[in-house]
Structure 1
């Protein structure tokens, strides 16, 4: 698939077929995240694959949406703030930026493989941390349900026109 087609085809999938992905397919997606660029190549992320029914139920407690409960597996993408690059001028931590790039790489690779994903950030991180027994320096940043979509027809995306988003040589 060409890149332009890939980025226009990708959409947030909220209906999944119940079967889990093969280890081979899952590793293709995880590898795409691993290959993502990061600030100073620090790679401050951890990918935790959840496919155990009890762990999935615990994730549902942190994000109680009916569609989410039906996802066959979820990748919890975590920021490792102890391993992230901090900008010298103001100390800005780039872990979340690096996680976002890795997540985007995974969503695009999943789309290319005919799979569906949906970024989920509106969850209770304390519940996720507790359920997965995460150490204090590891922050759950994105829940990424992944599987085969029930519907493969991408909805029409609503996007602002470039004229509202682009400026030249200043604001």
Structure 2
């Protein structure tokens, strides 16, 4: 499968079978995060992997996990992130999002479903997992075996703006 085929195959899954994700798949998803690029290679990110019943219940107090048996909380270490000298913008949210995207695509490549969750309460995540102040929860990626039919890879022809609208040539 080409990268573009993989990217088109990926879709948000919001219903999961209860079957656990095998350790080899988890390791592959984590490795995809580990090799993801970050600004100036600072790697200002950490991941909380959640798969126990207790951990999923804790995380469920902060976000709707849609019944996924596995979730990753992608956290940022703001002070470690590269800062653009012109205006001081920190790349930490971008770095965390690149990791999340790599993990999401790795899950798709393994035949797993996933959904990227930004609608969550970071204060609840921080409290439930006793995160230090230096770690800021940025994204949650829920992962598992889809309990629904994935969307067609052909959907992009009608669900996305055309390239002519997306790109301005200069």
- TM-score of the two chains, using structure 1 as the length reference: 0.92
Tell me what 1:3 maps to.
Answer: 3
Matched, 1:99 2:100: no
3-state SS in 2 of match to 1:99 = helix
1:149-164 alignment runs, 5 A limit? 149-155=146-152, 156-157=155-156, 158-164=159-165
Listed as ranges, the gaps of 5+ residues in structure 1 are none
> 1:20, 1:77 → 2: CA distance?
20
> 1:106, 1:151 → 2: CA distance?
21
> 2:164, 2:66 → 1: CA distance?
39
How many angstroms does 1:78 deviate by? Answer: 0.6
Is the deviation greater in 29-38 or in 144-153? 144-153
- TM-score of the two chains, using structure 2 as the length reference: 0.92
Tell me what 1:12 maps to.
Answer: 12
3-state SS in 1 of match to 2:126 = helix
Tell me what 2:111 maps to.
Answer: 114
> 1:152, 1:34 → 2: CA distance?
30
3-state SS in 2 of match to 1:82 = helix
Is the deviation greater in 9-18 or in 145-154? 145-154
Tell me what 2:51 maps to.
Answer: 51
Deviations 1:132-168 (A, max 9, x none): 1111111111111111112343243411112221112
How many angstroms does 1:38 deviate by? Answer: 0.7
